Structure 1
Amino acid sequence: MSKKALKVTSLIYSVLINDDLDHFTVSQMRDAYLAKVSSGIDQNEARKIVYRQILRLQKLGMLSKLSSDNVKEHCYNKTELFYQVGLRTVKDQDIKLDYQSSPKANGLLEERLKRCEVDLLTSIAESEEYMRLHESLPELKEHLESQYVQSRECSSKLLGKIKAIKSVILHQTKHSL
């Protein structure tokens, strides 16, 4: 049974296939992605986009992670499954149009839900780290408390998004039966 090529945006496709990026860090893929982006996207937003794609491909077994002591130095490699399954492009506009016009947008909703869940876990880990840092670096109390509050607010917003997306998925599931 052959597997269907995985859909990714043309920019991600270009970085992974055309540039043949392999054995890379998130920062290296972000920089390659930024070099191809025509709009004024900032480094932080580009990192989030790239990291979501890396996590998605890793979860599907298409990338493997080589851990390092420094989280910024974790490397990702293409696996045999990557070469077997392959990637195909889909334009960002196509994704938005499908989401808006298709009554069976569960696939896109599920993908968005997964992205929000990953972001939520990241935000929770961030707030937990601020608390640990607060204990070991009391001289930075004011700054760390401010960062902690921002991180918790972000977590709350993401939780709200997750609940909304799950509600829509449930609604669509009930109406498609």
Structure 2
Amino acid sequence: MPKVSIKICATLHTILQDESFNNFQVVQLRDRFLSALSSNQSVSEAYKFIYRQVCRLVKKKALRKVNKESSKTVTYQKTELFDQINFVINDSIETSKPSQKLLDKTELAVIQQLQERLKQTEVDLLTSIGESEEYMRLYKSFPEMKEHLESQYMLARESSSKLLGQIKAIKSVLSHQQK
């Protein structure tokens, strides 16, 4: 029977080659993988990556999926074929997506832009509130200008409402980006 070749990332290969590492869950492999990495990869991204690799190894019959009837826990075991497989170490698998550092820089740039936009919108809101308050003071001082001052006051209030909506939207996007 010809030897099967499977591409695998170096970190994952090292973990799986450890003889004591068998009968594992995806979460355990993910945790071991994250602790071995030097980058700050997110837990969810690491889980997805590990899960895809485990599924691929199950498909190639290098691992066996074991469902325990007593619980919903799924474990994976190395098969006899595992030791016969020719693993081709591929460092580019880990970096097939944009590197985490690049993502971090991009995310930081987006967050910084959103924060600057938030500050500017808050300044605009304060200006608009100050404007509407001044129209009220002017109205009290010059009641004969009621019609003009009232329309200007309403425009300033409408502007304040729009700006408040923009601030809420920006804060919502910011909180989503920072998760």
- TM-score normalised per structure 1: 0.48
Task: Return the index of the structure with the highest Cα Rg.
Answer: 2
